Structure 1
Amino acid sequence: MMAQPALALALPLRLLAEAPGVSAAQVIVDHEVGDYRDLDALRAITEGCAVVTFDHEHVPTDHLRALEADGVAVRPGPDALVHAQDKAVMRERLGALGVPCPRNAVVADTAEVEEFGFPCVLKTTRGGYDGKGVWVVRLAADCTEPFETARRSGVRILAEELVDFSRELSAIVVRSPSGQAAAYPVVQTTQLDGICHEVVAPAPDLSEELAGQAQQLALRVAGELGVTGVLAVELFETRDGRILVNELAMRPHNTGHWTQDGAVTSQFENHLRAVMDLPLGSPAPRAPWSVMVNILGGPEPDGEGPGRLYDGYPHALARDPHLRVHLYGKESRPGRKVGHVNVYGDDLEDCLERARHAAAWFRGDLGNESE
């Protein structure tokens, strides 16, 4: 999704793809297939590049430091990115900065979880995403799988309090090496089976005071950690009106996909501008409301490529000429994110209905029923 704004800005992209035919390789001609854990592959693909950036946080920290030692501009740098790679490192640093977070502790075994207190959330400190590597545990017996997973993968387990939150929010900011920064409206996010399902921008009924706090917190974290590019700060809004930091992501983030069509400058373009140290674009919304709904794979696999998803175009686009559809060229598998739809306008309920209908139609939940 960075390819289109890169083309408009005349910024050539080179890609290290994890497999042939993955989404980015379908649109970035200059690509090689390789393993991001292979330092030689990283050195080969980055040779001659002005800047290196990421679409996930899993590149080994030591490899990034090796690239920096070779003179490669890595943005965000490893000293910043490690806070999105390792949840324990993140919690320790945010705690030292006085950033509000859930109560947490690294735990070595079930006994330490019991001492921490049930119920709680256990997370692998590295490698988790989209609900993977996260468990809600209420009894000692629930701890078996998390610790077995940690042992197999060689990571630690972080225990966090089970927060009684009213909703989840996300504050996305972008920061350049020269220190320029911009903040997008704080959004409300809804999760489905641990996967971001729906985003509403701005978050409905969020007070200006709390929205300002969330934006200032995200900007402060970006500055303190030395982030270059997009930083997504996922937040809990508690029932007593506070905000707590849940997760950090240092890349264009699912909770910011609405900006492709609903903001003056998308998170993808601003990420490119930031890592190239170009002046940032306006994060202002184009309309009072924007809604993003993810298209998840239906109950049955659909073979190679988007397949049946293309069949959704005639109905969805004819029903709503203002609808914006983004498909990823992925094989449709149950629960997999294979695309998203964006809608923006003056009426929130109308935007919600249109976006939800379109996503359900592409998923196949509505069958072939007529309007």
Structure 2
Amino acid sequence: MVGGGQLARMTHEAGIPLGVRFKLLSDTPRDSAALVAGEVVVGDHRDLDTLREFARGCDVITFDHEHVPLEHLRALRAEGVAVRPGPEALAHAQDKGVMRARLTELGVPCPRHRLVADPADVTRFAQEGDGYPVILKTVRGGYDGKGVWFVRSEADAAEPFRAGVPVLAEEKVDFRRELAANVVRSPSGQAVAYPVVESVQVAGVCDTVIAPAPDLAPELALRAQELALRVARELDVVGHLAVELFEVAGADGEPAILVNELAMRPHNSGHWTQDGAVTSQFANHVRAVLDLPLGDPRPRARWTVMANVLGGDYPDMYQAYLHCMARDPGLKIHMYGKDVKPGRKVGHVNTYGDELADVRDRARHAAGYLRGTITE
């Protein structure tokens, strides 16, 4: 696996019961997965020679992130390395402009959008619709709210262009809530779909995920799953695909969905599956890239809630564990071994049960206590 973050850490964990030998290319020896993986190579994923040396002896290469240069992946594949997902698929996760163009070609519903050249062009884009505000995104490199701007005027629009990469303008969507459809697809074409979830964002960062999404019409949930499976097939995704969605009011007033983002790797909106699904997203990603039969994606409980633990004040983690575990014996804690920085994702908790209000309160309390924002 290329990338040493928490996604690699949890993918490694999922491969252990299968006896999978897991080799890691990490930026530093202190990255989350590098702390636990048995075979770690420290190197730059942007360097082709480093990637070539890393790939020696590997049956398949997969990814913790989507930032490996596509030309390097094409070179590896030409030399006989199995790269999953492949560079043609990953192009749609690396470049939002490419992604929007392809989804539009496929007839997939998306927000109104186009590439813009400068702040004056942003104003023209705004005037083509309902005016300001609009959303600006750098086409490459953004995540967790980074590389995204909420722009109210032409004067506000200058900052995104300073990054020196193309800028995508999108209409500001009046959405009811954010959803995510997570699917997994193998090279042989087998695919599974997890229940559609609600993803609650705070300051551009995922805070809470509720599985399944409450009060989601069954026909809309089915439509979202079918859309995600179709995108995975059309883009030839191998492994886990997260399709982030907006739930909106359609032209007829009925609920509808628009695609916001794609991620071709395990995803924050699927962390609930570790404890809430028969087969987790991480286990199914391992199975998919090795072309093994995929596991059952069905939920184990009526409701599962995942809450992210963000960096805060940790005076005594052992005491925090004592409190959280004693208060809620059913709580599942997943910490990533990362240095704590304000607002950084350092772990998550999962809770599950039959009553949504109770399950949600338990998750939020534990995440808040581990962060230090709740003290009792």
- Give the TM-score of the pair, scaled to structure 2: 0.94
Aligned mate of 2:302, from 273, 288, 309: 288
- Does structure 1 residue 55 correspond to structure 2 residue 64? yes
Aligned mate of 1:93, from 77, 98, 102: 102
Aligned equivalent of 1:26:
35
Q: Is the 8 A contact 2:118 2:158 kept in 1?
A: no
- Distance in structure 1 (CA, Å) of the matches to 2:105 and 2:319: 52
Is 69-78 or 140-149 further displaced after alignment? 140-149
1:2 counterpart SS class? helix
1:1-371 aligned at under 5 Å gives the runs 1-117=10-126, 118-149=132-163, 151=164, 155-240=165-250, 241-298=255-312, 308-367=316-375, 369=376
1:244 counterpart SS class? strand
- Distance in structure 1 (CA, Å) of the matches to 2:48 and 2:346: 30
What's the offset of the Cα at 1:29? 1.5
1:102 counterpart SS class? coil
What's the offset of the Cα at 1:239? 3.2
Q: Is the 8 A contact 1:76 1:250 kept in 2?
A: yes
Which stretches of structure 1, 4 residues or more, deviate above 4 A after TM superposition? none
- Distance in structure 2 (CA, Å) of the matches to 1:346 and 1:9: 31
Q: Is the 8 A contact 1:270 1:281 kept in 2?
A: yes
Q: Deviations over 1:142-186 (max 9, x none)?
A: 11111112x2xxx21000010000000000000000000000000
Q: Is the 8 A contact 2:62 2:85 kept in 1?
A: yes
1:179 counterpart SS class? coil
What's the offset of the Cα at 1:5? 1.5
What's the offset of the Cα at 1:308? 3.8
- Distance in structure 2 (CA, Å) of the matches to 1:308 and 1:12: 35
Q: Is the 8 A contact 1:309 1:362 kept in 2?
A: yes
- Distance in structure 2 (CA, Å) of the matches to 1:26 and 1:57: 21
Superposed CA RMSD in Å reads 0.9
Q: Is the 8 A contact 2:199 2:269 kept in 1?
A: yes
1:321 counterpart SS class? coil
Report the identity percentage. Answer: 64
What's the offset of the Cα at 1:309? 3.5
- Give the TM-score of the pair, scaled to structure 1: 0.95
Change (3 A) 1:272 1:291: same
Q: Is the 8 A contact 1:170 1:232 kept in 2?
A: yes
What's the offset of the Cα at 1:119? 1.3
Q: Deviations over 1:280-331 (max 9, x none)?
A: 0000000000000000011x5x6xxxx7434310000010001000000011
